Amino acid sequence: MLLMVSVLIFVGTQILPGDVAQSILGQSATPQALANLREELGLNQPAYIRYFQWLGGLLQGDLGTSLTNGRDIGEAIGQRFGNTLFLASCAALIAVPLAILLGLVSVLYRNRWPDKLISIVALASISVPEFLIGYILMFYIGVQLGWAPSVSMVTEGMPFFARLHAIALPVAVLVLVVLAHMMRMTRAAILNVMQSPYIETAELKGLGMFRIIRKHAFPNAIAPVVNVVMLNLAYLVVGVVVVEVVFVYPGMGQFLVDHVAKRDVPVVQACGLIFASVYILLNMIADIVSIMANPRLRHPK
């Protein structure tokens, strides 16, 4: 799958408009200067040769060299990827337990006002684009109230709690974006299990609804819940591009957008492949956990 993704990423970068040589030298560059730079950067070689050179470097752990500044891409991406993982991890630590808790509350108070209120807020948050939520929080919380910085700048060696304060607004946006989906899927999975005969047996024995959900329904609904949690974790890592750009956060998304504007194809290819690897890895973990949580899949006949 990664091999197929690498082909798609390479083809996609080749059809990007613009010329990196023109971007480096400027509009006043002469045709001869542009031709010399393209030859120096290897851009005049056939596409399939450049693809296999890039693939060979990937197999040896070499992501290539940036065309715009000559820096090693692996070194440049390292800190940016760490920043993105830190942002996504903080959002996940809040969103995942909160989504599961709200899903359990919705089932416990099904068709009553807590369930309806949670559903209304969840559907409202999932219907609003993340960049709009970001600008709203930035204006009211960052500018009007001054509770958190509007621009999420983090630096190397910054104290831990200072980093948390700096990323408060982008974390809030990511939590609101992924919370609704996980909560709704948790609620749906538990309600599906609640229709099983053993749940009716537990009710006839006189067990309380909260105990039935906690001990019988939720453990048997864990597989679909894990799937949706992993998909949203993948989104937190892969889909942070818009949020990072809105808050000028120095992560992989901002790094990718900057180099798309510069037509720096090797950097765009490396970022795209890293994002794809994370997405595939988290989906594979979701499948493994789903199998482990289901005895019928662990012990097929």
Q: At what angle do helices 265-293 and 47-59 cross, to 10 degrees?
A: 50
pTM (whole model) above 0.85: no
Residues 5 and 22: their CA atoms lie apart, in Å, by 28
Q: Which residues of the chain have pLDDT under 70?
A: 16-29, 37, 40-43, 293-301
The confidence score (pLDDT) of residue 298 equals: 65
The confidence score (pLDDT) of residue 38 equals: 72
Closest CA to 110 of 201, 178, 194: 194
For 8, 55, 139, the CA distances from 115, given in Å and listed in that order, are 43, 51, 30
The confidence score (pLDDT) of residue 36 equals: 75
The confidence score (pLDDT) of residue 276 equals: 86
Tell me the CATH architecture of domain 85-298: Orthogonal Bundle (1.10)
The confidence score (pLDDT) of residue 18 equals: 65
- Residue 74, C-beta contacts closer than 8 angstroms, at least 6 positions apart: 61, 62, 63, 270
Residues 174 and 61: their CA atoms lie apart, in Å, by 31
> Which part of the chain is CATH 1.10.3720.10?
85-298
Closest CA to 254 of 138, 152, 137: 152
CB 20 within 8 A of CB 43: yes
The confidence score (pLDDT) of residue 297 equals: 63
Q: DSSP label at 196?
A: S
Virtual CA dihedral for 249, 250, 253, 255, nearest 10 degrees? 140
The confidence score (pLDDT) of residue 281 equals: 87
Residues 116 and 298: their CA atoms lie apart, in Å, by 37
Q: Which residues pair with 65 in a beta bridge?
A: 72
Residues 87 and 92: their CA atoms lie apart, in Å, by 9
